[in-house]
Amino acid sequence: MHFDAFDRYHEKASFLHRLDPRVKTLVTVVYIVSNALLPDGAWLAFVFAWLFLIAVNLLSQLGIGYTFKRSIVALPFALIAITVLFSIPGTPLFSFQLFMSNLTITDAGLLRFVSILIRSWLSVQMAILLVAVTRFPDLIHALEHLKVPAILTTIIAFLYRYLFVLTDEVFRLIRARESRSAAAAGNRSGGGVFWRAKVAGNMAGQLFLRSYERSDRIYNAMLSRGYAGHLYTLNPHEMKPRDYYVTAFAIGVVFIVQILGRL
Q: What angle do CA 71, 72, 77 make, to 5 degrees?
A: 110
Stretch that binds other proteins, among 50-58, 89-97, 208-216, 239-247 (CB under 8 A): 208-216
Sole binder of other proteins in the list 36, 64, 93, 103 (CB under 8 A): 36
Q: Indicate whether 76 belongs to the interface with other proteins (CB under 8 A).
A: yes
Q: Which is nearer to other proteins, 225 or 241 (CB)?
A: 225
Q: Indicate whether 251 belongs to the interface with other proteins (CB under 8 A).
A: no
- Shortest distance, position 171 Cβ to other proteins, whole Å: 8
- Shortest distance, position 165 Cβ to other proteins, whole Å: 7
Q: Indicate whether 245 belongs to the interface with other proteins (CB under 8 A).
A: no
105: which DSSP letter? E
Q: Indicate whether 23 belongs to the interface with other proteins (CB under 8 A).
A: no
Name which of residues 150 to 179 contact other proteins (CB under 8 A): 151-152, 154-163, 165-167, 169-170, 173-174
Give the start-end residues of each E strand in 92-225: 92-98, 101-106
Q: Give the integer Cα–Cα distance in Å for 145 and 141.
A: 6
Sole binder of other proteins in the list 87, 95, 233, 235 (CB under 8 A): 87
39: which DSSP letter? P
Q: Indicate whether 12 belongs to the interface with other proteins (CB under 8 A).
A: no
Q: Indicate whether 119 belongs to the interface with other proteins (CB under 8 A).
A: yes
Q: Indicate whether 100 belongs to the interface with other proteins (CB under 8 A).
A: no
Sole binder of other proteins in the list 12, 14, 15, 37 (CB under 8 A): 37
Do 153 and 143 meet the contact criterion of CB atoms below 8 Å apart? Answer: yes
Q: Indicate whether 33 belongs to the interface with other proteins (CB under 8 A).
A: yes
Chain centroid offset of residue 247 CA: 22
Crossing angle of helices 43-59 and 241-261, rounded to 10°: 160
Q: Indicate whether 46 belongs to the interface with other proteins (CB under 8 A).
A: no
Q: Give the integer Cα–Cα distance in Å for 108 and 122.
A: 21
Q: Indicate whether 74 belongs to the interface with other proteins (CB under 8 A).
A: yes
Q: Give the integer Cα–Cα distance in Å for 137 and 142.
A: 9
Sole binder of other proteins in the list 111, 116, 256, 260 (CB under 8 A): 116
Sole binder of other proteins in the list 139, 246, 250, 254 (CB under 8 A): 139
Sole binder of other proteins in the list 23, 53, 128, 257 (CB under 8 A): 128
Q: Give the integer Cα–Cα distance in Å for 125 and 63.
A: 13
Sole binder of other proteins in the list 52, 121, 141, 144 (CB under 8 A): 121
What's phi and psi for 102, nearest 5 deg? -90, 120
Q: Give the integer Cα–Cα distance in Å for 55 and 9.
A: 19
User: What 3-state class would DSSP assign to 11?
Assistant: coil
Q: Beta-carbon neighbour count of residue 30 at 10 Å?
A: 17
Sole binder of other proteins in the list 57, 60, 106, 120 (CB under 8 A): 120
What percent of the chain is helix, strand and coil (3-state, nearest 5)? 70, 5, 25
Q: Indicate whether 127 belongs to the interface with other proteins (CB under 8 A).
A: yes
